Amino acid sequence: MDSLSAVRRLLILFGDQLDEAYLDQAGLDRQVDAVALCEVVEESTHVFSHVQRTVLFLSAMRHFASLLTEHGWRVHYVRLDGQENSQSLDTEIGRITGELRPAELVFVHPGEWRVLDMVTAAARRTGVPFSVRIDSHFTSSLQWFDDWASTRRQLRMEHFYRERRRDLHVLVDAKNRPIGGKWNLDSENRRSFRSEPHAPEVPRFAPDSVTLETIEAVRESLPQLPGRLESFNWPVTRGEALLALGDFVDNRLSLFGDYQDAMWSGQDTLYHSVLSSSLNLKLLRPGEVVEAAVRAFEVGSAPLNAVEGFVRQIVGWREYIRGVYWNSGRGYGARNALNAEGSLPWFYWNGETDMECMREALRSVLEHSYGHHIARLMVTGNLGLIAGIRPSEVADWYLGMYVDGVEWATLPNVLGMALYADGGILASKPYAASGNYINRMSNYCRTCRYDVKDRTGERACPFNTLYWDFMMRHQERFMRNPRMALAARAVDKLSKSEREEIPRLARALKDTWGVSR
Ligand code: SF4
């Protein structure tokens, strides 16, 4: 656009706000208003970001900017290699405002406290009147969540979810009762595979010229980013994201429920939707995603346990954790209820470990910047919990290394759900598990050098050793939690020699992994 002509209203959008609907909601007029987007190095380095995550954000932004231009919008785009780019949103907001001289600045509520504070401060410094609009992408507003939370002693997802289902009239009958009689069919969704599964592959989105150019720019400006790029296969436009949604509903949704907690070597996506990056970048809207799944149930192509499980993820869990993130305030990320102070094991960065389950989970992350929810929770997250790794380090790793990483989603999932670091705001108990769980839900233990039946000795499964070490360290606390008391009492059944050997073995493992004391 002509940078010399002043604009009336300037909407500055971020890399996870790629929905044209925001322009209408901000009341923009093609004749006098403009949109700005900035690529800055700082957003890929404030936590170390997987190279695929960075390429996805930037390529999707470039495609989105082209689309807006095609649709007649005036777009000001700051490229990563732009000569004047100061590489920080903080300073770019001031620079762009100086260049375009808008009478008014508009933002959509960002997805992170850090960015909200930065934007507010930077906008204030410009002296130009500004507003931060609510993010209309979500089916529930933050105000709705705060009102709901103010009437609750505990913020349990199940209660939030039921109210949202009723409000949105999703999978309910005329009297607002759940279709099928039950709100939650999770107990039907815990099957594992007896033999190698043959889940349909996710569709391929070969990098186009824009993505290839983005890859070159990222290689040039950010050569140090972790992860591999060769398998890049993410939807970078709304059109591609809609194709991915249709493919999931047609080919994988029907078995998504049954096998949502299962894992298998070399099969990273199984029956999962793999839509979280498209949703979090706002290429897809939650309403249309839920509608597509419910339609599949209504025409009989997907069973209720699959569709309910998926709906629960979208209008339940996803919006609930966003509410918890903002409702808990800026201090949420610093919580560390279990006083976990260990540093992140080095193999989280290179995948070089002899634990088969961790090797598989980390391979998927390093190769594809992806892991499905049970690998995130019960393998990489569980190890962080039982090994006593500092929550902020684990949360930063998750935020940067997964392609769908945005803080409102990542922080409560990691800190609250996986690590119990918020002391029970989000989860009623820690999701700590020994190797038994992994053995039940996967084939990993069959080829592992460790023995999943052992908790002491040379071949003891590290998940067993660390689980019992964790339970011994926190036994007193967990005895006071009704949902943990039984597991905590089991510590008393350990033999004297096990009580001596387990902490020693756990420390030796952590020393080998470079975990500081
Ligand atoms: Fe993981 Fe233990 Fe099983 Fe090995 S034996 S794959 S370390 S759970």
Asked if residue 439 has its Cβ within 6 Å of ligand 1, the reply is: yes
Query: Residue 159 sits in a domain of what CATH number?
Result: 1.25.40.80
Closest atom of ligand 1 to 444 CA is 6
Last residue of a domain, one of 133, 161, 185: 133
Asked if residue 234 belongs to a domain, the reply is no
Asked if residue 356 has its Cβ within 6 Å of ligand 1, the reply is: yes
Distance (Å) from CA 471 to ligand 1 centroid: 18
The reply to whether 307 and 273 lie within a common domain is yes
Edge-to-edge, what's the strand order for the sheet holding 9-13? 75-78, 34-38, 9-13, 104-108, 130-133
Last residue of a domain, one of 85, 101, 133: 133
- Greater confidence, 2 or 139? 139
pLDDT > 90 in the chain, percent: 97
The reply to whether 33 and 169 lie within a common domain is no
Asked if residue 58 has its Cβ within 6 Å of ligand 1, the reply is: no
Band of the pLDDT at 2, cuts 50, 70, 90? very low
pLDDT tens for 222-269 read 999 999 999 999 999 999 999 999 999 999 999 999 999 999 999 999
Residue 4 has pLDDT above 70, yes or no: no
Asked if residue 444 has its Cβ within 6 Å of ligand 1, the reply is: yes
The reply to whether 301 and 360 lie within a common domain is no
The answer to whether the beta carbons of residues 413 and 398 sit under 8 Å apart is yes
| pLDDT given for residue 336 in this prediction | 98
The reply to whether 150 and 117 lie within a common domain is no
Last residue of a domain, one of 84, 101, 133: 133
Quote the pTM value: 0.96
Give, in order, the Cα–Cα distances in Å from 240 to each of 205, 209, 233, 296: 7, 15, 11, 20
Asked if residue 449 belongs to a domain, the reply is yes
The reply to whether 163 and 306 lie within a common domain is yes
Contacts of 195-201 with C-beta under 8 Å, sequence gap 24+, read 196/264, 196/443, 197/259, 197/262, 197/264, 197/267, 197/270, 199/252, 199/255, 199/259, 199/267, 199/269, 199/270, 199/271, 200/251, 200/252, 201/269
Query: Residue 409 sits in a domain of what CATH number?
Result: 1.10.579.10
The reply to whether 89 and 172 lie within a common domain is no
The reply to whether 129 and 180 lie within a common domain is no
Query: Residue 98 sits in a domain of what CATH number?
Result: 3.40.50.620
- Greater confidence, 189 or 129? 129
Distance (Å) from CA 438 to ligand 1 centroid: 7
| pLDDT given for residue 1 in this prediction | 47
pLDDT tens for 76-130 read 999 999 989 999 999 999 999 999 999 999 999 999 999 999 999 999 999 999 9
Residue 356 has pLDDT above 80, yes or no: yes
Residue 445 has pLDDT above 60, yes or no: yes
Asked if residue 452 has its Cβ within 6 Å of ligand 1, the reply is: yes
The reply to whether 418 and 478 lie within a common domain is yes
3-state helix, strand, coil split of the chain in percent (to 5) is 50, 5, 45
pLDDT tens for 311-338 read 999 999 999 999 999 999 999 999 999 9
Mark out the alpha helices in 222-355 (DSSP H runs): 238-251, 253-256, 276-280, 286-298, 304-311, 319-327, 347-350
Query: What amino acid is encoded at 478 in this protein?
Result: F
| pLDDT given for residue 516 in this prediction | 86
∠ Cα 266 272 278 (to 5°):
110
Kindly state the average pLDDT of the residues 121-150.
97
Separation of alpha carbons 153 and 163, rounded Å: 16
- Kindly state the tokens that stand for 190: 């815990």
Mean of pLDDT over the chain: 96
Residue 349 has pLDDT above 80, yes or no: yes
Asked if residue 262 has its Cβ within 6 Å of ligand 1, the reply is: no
The reply to whether 173 and 305 lie within a common domain is yes
Distance (Å) from CA 442 to ligand 1 centroid: 10
Asked if residue 463 has its Cβ within 6 Å of ligand 1, the reply is: yes
Asked if residue 226 belongs to a domain, the reply is no
The answer to whether the beta carbons of residues 159 and 152 sit under 8 Å apart is yes
Kindly state the average pLDDT of the residues 279-283.
98
Separation of alpha carbons 192 and 255, rounded Å: 12
| pLDDT given for residue 3 in this prediction | 47
The reply to whether 371 and 410 lie within a common domain is yes
| pLDDT given for residue 5 in this prediction | 61
Asked if residue 358 belongs to a domain, the reply is yes
The answer to whether the beta carbons of residues 51 and 229 sit under 8 Å apart is yes
Residues 6 or more apart from 1 whose CB is under 8 A from it?
Answer: 34, 74, 75, 76
Asked if residue 208 belongs to a domain, the reply is no
pLDDT tens for 451-466 read 999 999 999 999 999 9
The reply to whether 281 and 358 lie within a common domain is no
Query: What amino acid is encoded at 387 in this protein?
Result: A
Asked if residue 471 belongs to a domain, the reply is yes
DSSP string computed for 31-45: TT-EEEEE--THHHH
Asked if residue 219 belongs to a domain, the reply is no
User: Which of these ranges, 2-16, 133-147, 418-432, has the smallest mean pLDDT?
Assistant: 2-16
| pLDDT given for residue 517 in this prediction | 72
Separation of alpha carbons 413 and 404, rounded Å: 12
How many domains is the chain partitioned into structurally?
A: 3
Query: What's the full length of the chain, in residues?
Result: 517
pLDDT > 70 in the chain, percent: 99
Band of the pLDDT at 374, cuts 50, 70, 90? very high
Separation of alpha carbons 2 and 479, rounded Å: 67
Q: 496 in the Ramachandran plot: left (φ > 0), alpha (ψ -120 to 50) or beta?
A: alpha
Q: What is the 3-state secondary structure (H, E, C) of 175-235?
A: CCCECCCCCCCHHHCCCCCCCCCCCCCCCCCCCCHHHHHHHHHHHHHCCCCCCCCCCCCCC
Domain range holding 117?
A: 9-133
The reply to whether 274 and 354 lie within a common domain is no
Asked if residue 214 belongs to a domain, the reply is no
- Kindly state the tokens that stand for 81: 């290699």
Report how far Cα 125 is from the mean position of its chain's Cα atoms. Answer: 32
| pLDDT given for residue 197 in this prediction | 96
